[in-house]
Amino acid sequence: MSSFYNTEGGCIIVGLDEEKDEEKKGLGIPRLPDTPVTVSNFDGLLLRIQDAVRQSTNPSITNLQFSPLISLNGSHVFLIGIPKTKSLPAMVTYGNNNRFFKRKANGKYFLDTYELYETFNEINLIEKRIRLFIQDRQIKVSEDVFWPDLGRLSSILIHVIPISFFDSQIENFSSHEFQTFVKSALSPPGHEGYSTRYCLEGFHLFQNRRFGVDGEIIPYNLLFRNGCTETFTNQPFYHQPDKSLIVSGEAIIEVIKEQLEKNYLIYRNLSIEPTFYLSIKLNNVQNMFLTPREISLGKYHNFNELQLPITLLSNDVSEVKNQVKNILDILWQSVGANECSPNEFRKVFDKFSIDI
Protein backbone atom coordinates (compact mmCIF):
# COMPACT_ATOMS: atom_id res chain seq x y z
CA MET A 1 0.00 0.00 0.00
CA SER A 2 2.79 2.44 0.85
CA SER A 3 4.50 1.78 -2.48
CA PHE A 4 1.30 2.68 -4.36
CA TYR A 5 0.80 5.72 -2.11
CA ASN A 6 4.36 6.95 -2.71
CA THR A 7 4.16 6.57 -6.50
CA GLU A 8 0.93 7.18 -8.42
CA GLY A 9 -1.70 5.55 -6.22
CA GLY A 10 -3.34 2.28 -7.14
CA CYS A 11 -5.79 -0.47 -6.31
CA ILE A 12 -5.45 -3.80 -4.50
CA ILE A 13 -7.97 -6.57 -5.20
CA VAL A 14 -8.58 -8.81 -2.20
CA GLY A 15 -10.07 -12.27 -2.72
CA LEU A 16 -8.73 -13.24 -6.18
CA ASP A 17 -5.77 -15.34 -7.28
CA GLU A 18 -3.65 -14.88 -10.40
CA GLU A 19 -3.18 -17.27 -13.29
CA LYS A 20 0.42 -18.54 -13.48
CA ASP A 21 2.49 -20.11 -16.26
CA GLU A 22 4.38 -23.39 -16.08
CA GLU A 23 7.22 -21.65 -14.20
CA LYS A 24 4.76 -20.32 -11.60
CA LYS A 25 5.14 -16.75 -12.83
CA GLY A 26 2.09 -14.52 -12.66
CA LEU A 27 0.31 -13.78 -15.93
CA GLY A 28 -1.73 -10.85 -14.66
CA ILE A 29 -4.98 -12.73 -15.32
CA PRO A 30 -7.32 -12.92 -12.30
CA ARG A 31 -9.10 -16.09 -11.28
CA LEU A 32 -11.18 -17.26 -8.36
CA PRO A 33 -9.17 -19.00 -5.62
CA ASP A 34 -9.35 -22.78 -5.25
CA THR A 35 -10.61 -22.33 -1.70
CA PRO A 36 -13.36 -19.69 -1.51
CA VAL A 37 -12.59 -16.59 0.55
CA THR A 38 -15.43 -15.64 2.90
CA VAL A 39 -15.75 -12.52 5.06
CA SER A 40 -18.15 -12.75 7.99
CA ASN A 41 -17.69 -9.20 9.38
CA PHE A 42 -16.82 -6.86 6.51
CA ASP A 43 -17.05 -3.62 8.53
CA GLY A 44 -14.79 -5.06 11.22
CA LEU A 45 -12.26 -6.19 8.62
CA LEU A 46 -12.13 -2.73 7.04
CA LEU A 47 -11.51 -1.15 10.43
CA ARG A 48 -8.68 -3.61 11.12
CA ILE A 49 -7.08 -2.83 7.75
CA GLN A 50 -7.37 0.93 8.30
CA ASP A 51 -5.92 0.69 11.82
CA ALA A 52 -3.05 -1.55 10.70
CA VAL A 53 -2.08 0.77 7.84
CA ARG A 54 -2.46 3.92 9.96
CA GLN A 55 -0.34 2.52 12.79
CA SER A 56 2.35 1.09 10.50
CA THR A 57 3.07 4.11 8.28
CA ASN A 58 4.61 7.50 9.01
CA PRO A 59 3.10 9.94 8.11
CA SER A 60 0.05 7.72 8.49
CA ILE A 61 -1.89 6.68 5.40
CA THR A 62 -5.47 7.36 6.46
CA ASN A 63 -7.51 8.02 3.32
CA LEU A 64 -8.00 4.54 1.87
CA GLN A 65 -11.15 3.82 -0.14
CA PHE A 66 -13.04 0.51 -0.10
CA SER A 67 -15.51 -1.01 -2.55
CA PRO A 68 -18.61 -2.91 -1.42
CA LEU A 69 -18.13 -6.64 -0.76
CA ILE A 70 -18.83 -8.63 -3.93
CA SER A 71 -19.78 -12.33 -4.01
CA LEU A 72 -18.53 -14.40 -6.99
CA ASN A 73 -19.54 -18.05 -6.98
CA GLY A 74 -19.54 -18.14 -3.17
CA SER A 75 -16.18 -16.31 -2.80
CA HIS A 76 -15.92 -12.75 -1.50
CA VAL A 77 -13.96 -10.02 -3.32
CA PHE A 78 -13.39 -6.35 -2.55
CA LEU A 79 -11.10 -3.55 -3.67
CA ILE A 80 -8.87 -1.19 -1.70
CA GLY A 81 -8.13 2.13 -3.38
CA ILE A 82 -4.88 3.85 -2.39
CA PRO A 83 -4.49 7.54 -3.33
CA LYS A 84 -1.28 9.18 -4.43
CA THR A 85 0.34 11.29 -1.72
CA LYS A 86 -0.02 15.02 -2.24
CA SER A 87 2.89 15.77 0.08
CA LEU A 88 5.28 13.61 2.09
CA PRO A 89 5.91 9.95 1.25
CA ALA A 90 4.92 7.42 3.89
CA MET A 91 7.56 5.27 5.59
CA VAL A 92 6.66 1.71 6.62
CA THR A 93 7.22 1.27 10.36
CA TYR A 94 5.72 -2.21 10.74
CA GLY A 95 7.82 -4.75 12.70
CA ASN A 96 11.50 -3.93 12.31
CA ASN A 97 10.98 -2.01 9.05
CA ASN A 98 11.77 1.67 8.73
CA ARG A 99 11.84 1.93 4.95
CA PHE A 100 10.29 3.83 2.07
CA PHE A 101 8.80 1.89 -0.85
CA LYS A 102 7.84 2.95 -4.38
CA ARG A 103 6.66 1.00 -7.43
CA LYS A 104 7.89 0.13 -10.89
CA ALA A 105 6.20 -1.95 -13.58
CA ASN A 106 7.51 -5.17 -12.02
CA GLY A 107 6.56 -4.38 -8.42
CA LYS A 108 7.68 -2.48 -5.34
CA TYR A 109 11.25 -1.52 -4.44
CA PHE A 110 13.19 0.25 -1.68
CA LEU A 111 14.13 3.87 -2.27
CA ASP A 112 17.84 4.17 -2.98
CA THR A 113 20.15 6.75 -1.39
CA TYR A 114 19.56 9.36 -4.10
CA GLU A 115 15.78 9.04 -3.91
CA LEU A 116 15.90 9.26 -0.11
CA TYR A 117 18.04 12.39 -0.43
CA GLU A 118 15.50 13.92 -2.78
CA THR A 119 12.70 12.91 -0.42
CA PHE A 120 14.26 14.65 2.56
CA ASN A 121 15.05 17.71 0.45
CA GLU A 122 11.36 17.81 -0.36
CA ILE A 123 10.50 17.59 3.35
CA ASN A 124 12.87 20.47 4.13
CA LEU A 125 11.28 22.54 1.37
CA ILE A 126 7.78 21.87 2.71
CA GLU A 127 8.83 22.86 6.24
CA LYS A 128 10.47 26.04 4.96
CA ARG A 129 7.33 27.02 3.05
CA ILE A 130 5.20 26.32 6.10
CA ARG A 131 7.37 28.48 8.34
CA LEU A 132 7.32 31.33 5.84
CA PHE A 133 3.53 31.08 5.54
CA ILE A 134 3.13 31.18 9.33
CA GLN A 135 5.53 34.12 9.72
CA ASP A 136 3.73 36.08 7.00
CA ARG A 137 0.37 35.54 8.68
CA GLN A 138 1.73 36.46 12.12
CA ILE A 139 3.02 39.75 10.73
CA LYS A 140 -0.30 40.53 9.02
CA VAL A 141 -2.18 39.94 12.27
CA SER A 142 0.24 41.85 14.52
CA GLU A 143 0.36 44.83 12.14
CA ASP A 144 -3.45 44.95 11.76
CA VAL A 145 -3.23 44.15 8.06
CA PHE A 146 -5.75 41.30 8.19
CA TRP A 147 -8.20 42.85 10.66
CA PRO A 148 -8.05 46.20 12.52
CA ASP A 149 -7.18 46.61 16.18
CA LEU A 150 -5.68 43.15 16.85
CA GLY A 151 -1.98 43.87 17.16
CA ARG A 152 -2.26 45.64 20.51
CA LEU A 153 -4.13 42.76 22.18
CA SER A 154 -2.61 40.06 24.35
CA SER A 155 -3.60 36.97 22.42
CA ILE A 156 -2.91 33.43 21.29
CA LEU A 157 -2.52 32.78 17.56
CA ILE A 158 -2.75 29.18 16.36
CA HIS A 159 -2.00 27.90 12.85
CA VAL A 160 -2.75 24.41 11.58
CA ILE A 161 -1.03 23.72 8.26
CA PRO A 162 -1.64 20.49 6.28
CA ILE A 163 1.53 19.20 4.65
CA SER A 164 -0.33 19.30 1.31
CA PHE A 165 -1.17 23.00 1.66
CA PHE A 166 1.05 24.40 -1.09
CA ASP A 167 -0.45 22.41 -3.98
CA SER A 168 -4.05 21.78 -2.97
CA GLN A 169 -7.32 23.69 -2.99
CA ILE A 170 -10.57 22.82 -1.23
CA GLU A 171 -13.14 21.64 -3.73
CA ASN A 172 -16.53 23.37 -3.84
CA PHE A 173 -15.21 26.22 -1.67
CA SER A 174 -18.11 28.45 -2.70
CA SER A 175 -20.90 25.91 -2.43
CA HIS A 176 -23.82 26.17 -0.04
CA GLU A 177 -22.98 22.74 1.39
CA PHE A 178 -19.44 23.90 2.19
CA GLN A 179 -20.69 27.04 3.94
CA THR A 180 -23.24 25.13 6.01
CA PHE A 181 -20.71 22.55 7.14
CA VAL A 182 -17.90 24.99 7.98
CA LYS A 183 -20.23 27.36 9.84
CA SER A 184 -21.09 24.61 12.31
CA ALA A 185 -17.74 22.79 12.40
CA LEU A 186 -15.25 25.68 12.71
CA SER A 187 -16.89 28.09 15.13
CA PRO A 188 -14.48 30.57 16.77
CA PRO A 189 -13.36 30.02 20.38
CA GLY A 190 -16.16 30.99 22.75
CA HIS A 191 -18.64 31.31 19.81
CA GLU A 192 -21.30 33.27 21.68
CA GLY A 193 -22.88 34.66 18.54
CA TYR A 194 -20.66 34.88 15.51
CA SER A 195 -20.78 35.95 11.90
CA THR A 196 -19.24 34.55 8.73
CA ARG A 197 -17.99 36.00 5.46
CA TYR A 198 -15.82 35.20 2.50
CA CYS A 199 -12.66 37.28 2.28
CA LEU A 200 -9.50 37.51 0.19
CA GLU A 201 -7.81 34.83 2.31
CA GLY A 202 -10.69 32.36 2.47
CA PHE A 203 -13.66 31.90 4.82
CA HIS A 204 -13.75 33.97 8.01
CA LEU A 205 -15.77 33.04 11.14
CA PHE A 206 -15.65 35.79 13.78
CA GLN A 207 -17.42 36.90 16.91
CA ASN A 208 -19.34 40.15 16.57
CA ARG A 209 -17.37 42.96 18.23
CA ARG A 210 -17.27 46.62 19.15
CA PHE A 211 -13.99 48.20 18.10
CA GLY A 212 -11.91 49.83 20.85
CA VAL A 213 -13.80 48.29 23.81
CA ASP A 214 -11.30 47.18 26.47
CA GLY A 215 -11.75 43.70 27.86
CA GLU A 216 -13.86 42.47 24.96
CA ILE A 217 -13.23 38.89 23.81
CA ILE A 218 -12.31 38.98 20.12
CA PRO A 219 -11.98 35.46 18.65
CA TYR A 220 -12.01 34.27 15.07
CA ASN A 221 -11.26 31.27 12.90
CA LEU A 222 -10.06 31.61 9.33
CA LEU A 223 -10.10 28.74 6.84
CA PHE A 224 -7.83 29.30 3.84
CA ARG A 225 -8.64 27.88 0.43
CA ASN A 226 -5.68 25.49 0.69
CA GLY A 227 -6.91 23.95 3.96
CA CYS A 228 -4.83 25.92 6.48
CA THR A 229 -6.62 27.36 9.51
CA GLU A 230 -5.83 30.36 11.69
CA THR A 231 -7.27 30.84 15.18
CA PHE A 232 -7.02 34.12 17.09
CA THR A 233 -8.38 34.84 20.56
CA ASN A 234 -7.63 36.95 23.61
CA GLN A 235 -9.87 34.70 25.71
CA PRO A 236 -7.04 33.20 27.88
CA PHE A 237 -6.04 36.66 29.19
CA TYR A 238 -7.78 37.94 32.33
CA HIS A 239 -7.76 41.28 34.13
CA GLN A 240 -6.81 41.29 37.80
CA PRO A 241 -8.24 43.86 40.25
CA ASP A 242 -5.28 46.17 39.57
CA LYS A 243 -6.14 46.03 35.83
CA SER A 244 -3.02 44.00 34.98
CA LEU A 245 -3.43 40.88 32.83
CA ILE A 246 -2.57 37.28 33.62
CA VAL A 247 -2.44 34.31 31.23
CA SER A 248 -4.79 31.45 32.07
CA GLY A 249 -2.95 28.21 31.29
CA GLU A 250 -6.14 26.17 31.58
CA ALA A 251 -7.90 28.40 29.05
CA ILE A 252 -4.98 27.97 26.62
CA ILE A 253 -5.21 24.18 26.97
CA GLU A 254 -8.97 24.33 26.29
CA VAL A 255 -8.55 26.50 23.18
CA ILE A 256 -5.85 24.24 21.71
CA LYS A 257 -7.85 21.07 22.36
CA GLU A 258 -11.06 22.42 20.83
CA GLN A 259 -9.34 23.84 17.75
CA LEU A 260 -7.43 20.63 17.06
CA GLU A 261 -10.64 18.60 17.22
CA LYS A 262 -12.30 21.02 14.81
CA ASN A 263 -9.40 20.67 12.38
CA TYR A 264 -9.50 16.86 12.40
CA LEU A 265 -13.24 17.05 11.70
CA ILE A 266 -12.80 19.63 8.91
CA TYR A 267 -10.02 17.66 7.20
CA ARG A 268 -11.87 14.36 7.31
CA ASN A 269 -14.99 15.89 5.75
CA LEU A 270 -13.14 17.97 3.15
CA SER A 271 -10.84 15.10 2.08
CA ILE A 272 -7.66 16.85 3.20
CA GLU A 273 -4.79 14.69 4.41
CA PRO A 274 -4.96 14.95 8.23
CA THR A 275 -1.20 15.20 8.71
CA PHE A 276 -0.43 18.77 9.70
CA TYR A 277 1.91 21.15 11.47
CA LEU A 278 0.79 22.99 14.61
CA SER A 279 2.06 26.48 15.45
CA ILE A 280 1.19 28.29 18.71
CA LYS A 281 2.27 31.86 19.41
CA LEU A 282 1.49 34.16 22.34
CA ASN A 283 1.49 37.92 21.72
CA ASN A 284 1.97 40.84 24.13
CA VAL A 285 2.76 38.78 27.24
CA GLN A 286 5.64 40.77 28.73
CA ASN A 287 5.51 41.04 32.56
CA MET A 288 2.52 38.69 32.77
CA PHE A 289 2.07 35.82 35.20
CA LEU A 290 0.92 32.41 33.90
CA THR A 291 -2.23 31.49 35.86
CA PRO A 292 -2.63 32.34 39.55
CA ARG A 293 -1.04 29.05 40.54
CA GLU A 294 2.29 29.98 38.94
CA ILE A 295 2.44 33.59 40.20
CA SER A 296 5.13 32.78 42.76
CA LEU A 297 7.47 31.45 40.04
CA GLY A 298 7.88 34.51 37.86
CA LYS A 299 6.71 36.43 34.82
CA TYR A 300 7.40 36.55 31.11
CA HIS A 301 10.02 39.22 31.73
CA ASN A 302 12.40 39.10 28.80
CA PHE A 303 10.11 38.84 25.79
CA ASN A 304 6.82 40.16 24.54
CA GLU A 305 6.15 37.32 22.09
CA LEU A 306 6.50 33.59 22.64
CA GLN A 307 6.64 31.25 19.62
CA LEU A 308 6.33 27.63 20.72
CA PRO A 309 7.95 24.90 18.57
CA ILE A 310 6.19 24.25 15.25
CA THR A 311 5.38 20.54 15.39
CA LEU A 312 4.28 17.91 12.86
CA LEU A 313 1.45 16.14 14.68
CA SER A 314 0.89 12.40 14.55
CA ASN A 315 -2.40 10.77 13.51
CA ASP A 316 -2.39 8.67 16.68
CA VAL A 317 -4.46 10.22 19.46
CA SER A 318 -2.08 9.16 22.27
CA GLU A 319 0.94 10.54 20.44
CA VAL A 320 -0.88 13.82 19.68
CA LYS A 321 -1.54 14.24 23.41
CA ASN A 322 2.15 13.63 24.18
CA GLN A 323 3.24 16.10 21.51
CA VAL A 324 0.89 18.85 22.72
CA LYS A 325 1.90 18.23 26.34
CA ASN A 326 5.57 18.66 25.36
CA ILE A 327 4.77 21.95 23.63
CA LEU A 328 2.85 23.24 26.63
CA ASP A 329 5.63 22.22 29.02
CA ILE A 330 7.79 24.86 27.31
CA LEU A 331 5.12 27.49 27.98
CA TRP A 332 5.17 26.66 31.68
CA GLN A 333 8.95 26.33 31.83
CA SER A 334 9.25 29.85 30.42
CA VAL A 335 8.10 31.19 33.81
CA GLY A 336 10.20 28.74 35.82
CA ALA A 337 7.72 25.91 36.39
CA ASN A 338 8.72 22.26 35.94
CA GLU A 339 5.98 21.44 33.41
CA CYS A 340 2.40 22.06 32.44
CA SER A 341 0.33 20.64 35.29
CA PRO A 342 -0.42 16.98 34.39
CA ASN A 343 -3.74 17.22 36.24
CA GLU A 344 -4.85 20.33 34.35
CA PHE A 345 -3.75 18.80 31.05
CA ARG A 346 -5.53 15.49 31.67
CA LYS A 347 -8.70 17.25 32.81
CA VAL A 348 -8.97 18.76 29.32
CA PHE A 349 -7.25 16.27 27.01
CA ASP A 350 -8.75 13.09 28.47
CA LYS A 351 -11.80 14.12 26.40
CA PHE A 352 -9.74 14.76 23.27
CA SER A 353 -10.51 12.79 20.11
CA ILE A 354 -9.35 12.86 16.50
CA ASP A 355 -12.43 10.91 15.38
CA ILE A 356 -15.24 13.23 16.49
Indicate the domain borders of the chain: 2-111, 126-349
Give residue 24's pLDDT.
79
Per residue in 48-102, pLDDT (tens digit) is 999 899 889 888 887 788 999 999 888 999 999 998 886 678 889 887 778 888 8
HEC-encoded secondary structure of the chain: CHHHHCCCCEEEEECCEEEECCCCCEEEEEECCCCCCCCCCHHHHHHHHHHHHHHCEECCCCCCEECCCEEECCEEEEEEEECCCCCCCCEECCCCCCEEEEEECCEEEECCHHHHHHHHHHHHHHHHHHHHHHHHHHHHHHCCCCCCCCCCCCEEEEEEEECCHHHCCCCCCCCHHHHHHHHHHCCCCCCCCEEEEECCCEEEEEECCCCCCCCCCCCEEEEECCCCEEEEECCCEEECCCCCEEECHHHHHHHHHHHHHHHHHHHHHCCCCCCEEEEEEEECCCCCEECHHHCCCCECCCCCCEECCCEECCCCHHHHHHHHHHHHHHHHHCCCCCCCCHHHHHHHHCCCCCCC
Give residue 212's pLDDT.
53
Give residue 210's pLDDT.
58
Give residue 22's pLDDT.
83
Per residue in 259-287, pLDDT (tens digit) is 999 999 998 888 887 788 999 999 999 88
Give residue 294's pLDDT.
72
Q: What is the pTM of this model?
A: 0.77
Over the chain, what is the mean pLDDT? Answer: 88
